[in-house]
Amino acid sequence: MAVHQIRSVVRPATLEEAWECRRSEPGASRFLAGGIDLVLYVPPTVSTLIDLSCLGIDAVRQEGSDVVMGAMATLTEVLESPLVGEFAGGFLRDVLRRVASPLQRNVATLGGAVVRAHPWSDVIPALLVLDAQLDVFDGRRSTVELSEVRARSESPSPLVLTVRLPGASCDGRGAFEKFARTGFDVGVLNCACFAIIERGLCRTARVAVGGTPSVARRLPRVEETLVGKPLSASQIALAAQTAAGVVDVRDDRRATAEYRRVLTAVGVRRCLENLAGLGSEVKE
Amino acid sequence: MRIHLTVNGTGRTWEVAPGDTLLDVLRREGFAGVKKGCGTGDCGACTVLLNGRAVNACLVLAVKAEGHTVVTIEGVAQGGRLHPVQEAFLEAGAVQCGYCTPGMVLSAVSLLSHNPDPSEAEICEAISGNLCRCTGYVKQIAAIERAAARMRESQ
């Protein structure tokens, strides 16, 4: 259905132009990436769209040991990229295959998924555990943590240029669990875990839970229980129990807080068991 | 606003409102094979190919098609001859009311152009955004497998 309140679409050729358009009308303008969210949920005050198509921020490339994914790359382009397929055992590729339908993935952009950060987003927990960073522009370029940019409250929020997967995460493995009937459905809860295992011990462990129904967050207390330990059955059970204890869950129309707390334990356990199968043996 | 795009091989210049979706514009310009269903990207009745990729036309603003190539179901047959996917849908009886068929065919065309030998799981995934409320999916999957085999043989 046409979005009748949109009065103009501008197509800036430079980052500076794009930022100036956005900054001059913070309430009435929005950046236009794939556009799905703007068609479905455009805020009533918005009348100008700033199309980012001409800014050349759609490539997926290697930069040193980092994989740098343009914000305007579609989810399909990201998941089909050989660089993403080889990073952390293809963890992000495998998560993106479970997001929405191919029809939507051919339009939705990585930058749009990051900026919109729906509470039920499957992309955000995956990027959080990969320790993703964002290259942003707000009059000047800078690199910020994904969690940091989401915590900012200024308006307008910076223009996301790229999502950067740090090379330090390349040798780890990730696992993802989503509690939904199909990938198309909004999940009741989702969970991502990532580990780098050396000599049978977790050198790095990251755990994120989303759809709680808030947007995904890392669970540092759970990660602390895993670092330096083997992914044994008892350690996994402890991590799952800790996750259920610390996760911040609420009721909504999809599930109760109590049910989400149980699902958190199940999701963390399944993810860690999956990782244990890949990186070390489950003992006990 | 004026947009320039190629639809079914023909260059077009259309005047559109900034908030028009590609679905609105295509149907207004006479491409009635692009069906209007849910309007929220759930049913896939409005599927078209945008630069060779299947998309929900209801979720794409028309201005995003500027300079790009669109194929609708009207542009799939070439020179009066049906596309192998269309032929296979007919032979397999993969049509009932027909409302989902254009979208289903275009998703299959997009799949086979990128993956000539898909598994059944890959076919199911490719048409997972196209809902059929009449027949289910068994005959469509069989049709796409048949079309894939025929297209491989002809190459």
Look over chain A and give the mean of its residue pLDDT values, rounded to a whole number: 93
Question: Domain A171-279 adopts which CATH fold?
Answer: Enolase-like; domain 1 (3.30.390)
Strand B2-7 and strand B10-15: pairing?
antiparallel
Distance from CA of B18 to the nearest CA of A (A): 6
Question: Domain B84-153 adopts which CATH fold?
Answer: DNA polymerase; domain 1 (1.10.150)
Residue A201 φ then ψ, to 5°:
-115, 150
pLDDT interval class at A152 (50, 70, 90):
low
Q: Which of B9, B154, B34 is nearest to B87 (CA)?
A: B154
Name every chain A residue with its beta carbon within 8 A of the beta carbon of B125.
97, 102
Q: Residue A103 and residue B20: Cβ atoms within 8 Å?
A: no
Name every chain B residue with its beta carbon within 8 A of the beta carbon of A36.
41, 59
Cβ contacts of A154 within 8 Å, gap of 6 or more: none
Please tell me which of the candidates A36, A76, A102 has its beta carbon nearest to residue B129: A102
For B70, the token pair is 């669109």
- Give me the pLDDT at residue A186, please: 86
Positive or negative torsion for Cα A32, B57, A105, A186: positive
Q: Residue A103 and residue B50: Cβ atoms within 8 Å?
A: no
Give me the residues of chain B with pLDDT under 70, please.
none
Name every chain A residue with its beta carbon within 8 A of the beta carbon of B40.
40
- Give me the pLDDT at residue A260, please: 98
Q: Which of A84, A82, A150, A72 is nearest to A108 (CA)?
A: A72
Q: Residue B56 and residue A2: Cβ atoms within 8 Å?
A: no
Q: What span, in angstroms and rounded, lies between the C-alpha atoms of B113 and A161?
A: 31
Considering chain B, tell me which residue range(s) the CATH 1.10.150.120 domain(s) occupy: 84-153
Distance from CA of A23 to the nearest CA of B (A): 21
Tell me the CATH architecture of domain A60-168: 2-Layer Sandwich (3.30)
For A77, the token pair is 């382009």
Positive or negative torsion for Cα A124, A127, A133, A137: negative
Domain boundaries, chain A: 8-54, 60-168, 171-279
Question: Domain B2-75 adopts which CATH fold?
Answer: Ubiquitin-like (UB roll) (3.10.20)
Is residue B32 within 8 angstroms of chain A, CB to CB?
Answer: no
Residue of A nearest to B20 (CA): A2
Q: What is the pLDDT of residues A231-259, one digit of tens each?
A: 999 999 999 999 999 999 999 999 999 99
Please tell me which of the candidates A6, A53, A106 has its beta carbon nearest to residue B54: A106
Considering chain B, tell me which residue range(s) the CATH 3.10.20.30 domain(s) occupy: 2-75
Q: Omega into B102 within 30° of 0, i.e. cis?
A: no
- Give me the pLDDT at residue B22, please: 98
DSSP state letters, chain A: ---TT--EEE--SSHHHHHHHHHHSTTTEEEESS-HHHHHH--TT--EEEE-GGG----EEEETTEEEEETTSBHHHHHH-HHHHHGGGGHHHHHHTTSS-HHHHTT-BHHHHHHH--TT-SHHHHHHHTT-EEEEESSSEEEEEHHHHHH---SSPPEEEEEEE-GGGTT-EEEEEEESSSTTSPPSEEEEEEEEEETTEEEEEEEEEE-SSSPPEE-HHHHHHHTTS---HHHHHHHHHHHHHH------SS--HHHHHHHHHHHHHHHHHHHHHHHS----
Please tell me which of the candidates A51, A102, A107 has its beta carbon nearest to residue B125: A102
Name every chain B residue with its beta carbon within 8 A of the beta carbon of A2.
17, 19-21, 24
Strand B10-15 and strand B53-56: pairing?
unpaired
- Give me the pLDDT at residue A156, please: 77
Q: Which of A13, A20, A110 is nearest to A58 (CA)?
A: A110
Please tell me which of the candidates A34, A39, A102 has its beta carbon nearest to residue B126: A102
Instruction: Count CB neighbours of A82 within 10 A.
Output: 10
What percent of chain A is predicted at pLDDT more than 70? Answer: 95
- Give me the pLDDT at residue A279, please: 44
The CATH number, out of the four listed (1.10.760, 1.25.40, 3.30.43, 1.10.3470), of the domain defined by the range A8-54: 3.30.43
Q: What span, in angstroms and rounded, lies between the C-alpha atoms of B16 and A143?
A: 38
Q: What is the pLDDT of residues A69-117, one digit of tens each?
A: 999 999 999 999 999 999 999 999 999 999 999 999 999 999 999 998 8
- Give me the pLDDT at residue A283, please: 39
For A162, the token pair is 């790229």
Instruction: Count CB neighbours of B4 within 10 A.
Output: 12
- Give me the pLDDT at residue A149, please: 62
CB A236 within 8 Å of CB A276: yes
Name every chain B residue with its beta carbon within 8 A of the beta carbon of A11.
66
Name every chain B residue with its beta carbon within 8 A of the beta carbon of A6.
17-19
Q: Omega into A213 within 30° of 0, i.e. cis?
A: yes
Name every chain B residue with its beta carbon within 8 A of the beta carbon of A99.
none
Q: Judge whether residue A209 has pLDDT over 50.
A: yes
Q: What is the pLDDT of residues A157-197, one digit of tens each?
A: 899 999 999 999 999 999 999 999 877 788 899 999 999 99
Q: What span, in angstroms and rounded, lies between the C-alpha atoms of A68 and A4?
A: 36
Distance of CA B131 to the CA centre of its chain: 13
Residue of B nearest to A7 (CA): B18
What residue has token string 């000599």?
Answer: A199
| Contacting B residues, span 67-106, partner chain A, CB-CB under 8 Å | none
Q: Judge whether residue A150 has pLDDT over 70.
A: no
Q: Judge whether residue A281 has pLDDT over 50.
A: no
Q: Judge whether residue A204 has pLDDT over 90.
A: yes
Q: Residue B107 and residue A39: Cβ atoms within 8 Å?
A: no
- Give me the pLDDT at residue A163, please: 98
